């Protein structure tokens, strides 16, 4: 089946630093990937749609200058949290659809970010 991976699985950083999270589709190519954020005991909130070779589309209320998304290849999208603060601590999850099963999204295992 389609597999999506994320790296790192968890990260702890100091306030003011930037953190990069990678999302990879391991056995398929994905022109579109999605980034979600999930706070404790809450549902997933869609942050942005990552498009290969073009700019990401951000959901309302998500700061594009703070959450930088780069989708440089058909198997890799990165999310960089710039100048992280404690309120950015969250569970970040990506997803993608394989071309042959485009109506089904597959999710990565998530990245736990803790900002001190």
Interface ranges with other proteins (CB under 8 A):
4, 6, 30-32, 34, 36, 43-46, 49, 91, 93, 95-99, 102-110, 112
Residue closer to other proteins (CB basis): 1 or 14: 1
Residue closer to other proteins (CB basis): 14 or 100: 100
The rounded distance, in Å, linking the Cα atoms of 3 and 37 is: 19
User: Cβ 16 to other proteins, closest distance in Å?
Assistant: 27
Tell me if 70 sits within 8 A of 78, measured CB to CB.
yes
The rounded distance, in Å, linking the Cα atoms of 71 and 82 is: 17
User: Cβ 75 to other proteins, closest distance in Å?
Assistant: 13
Strand partners, 38: 91
Residue closer to other proteins (CB basis): 38 or 82: 38
Q: Residue holding tokens 């950015």?
A: 88
User: Cβ 100 to other proteins, closest distance in Å?
Assistant: 10
């Amino acid at each position: 089946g389609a597999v999506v991976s994320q790296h790192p699985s968890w990260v702890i950083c100091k306030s003011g630093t930037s953190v990069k999270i990678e999302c990879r589709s391991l056995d398929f190519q994905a022109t579109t990937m999605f980034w979600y954020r999930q706070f404790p005991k809450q549902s997933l909130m869609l942050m942005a749609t990552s498009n290969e070779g073009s700019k990401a589309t951000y959901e309302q209320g998500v700061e594009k200058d703070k959450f930088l998304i780069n989708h440089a290849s058909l198997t890799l999208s990165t999310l960089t949290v710039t100048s992280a603060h404690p309120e950015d601590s969250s569970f970040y999850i990506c997803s993608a659809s394989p071309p042959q099963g485009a109506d089904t999204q597959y999710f990565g295992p998530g990245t736990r970010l803790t900002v001190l």
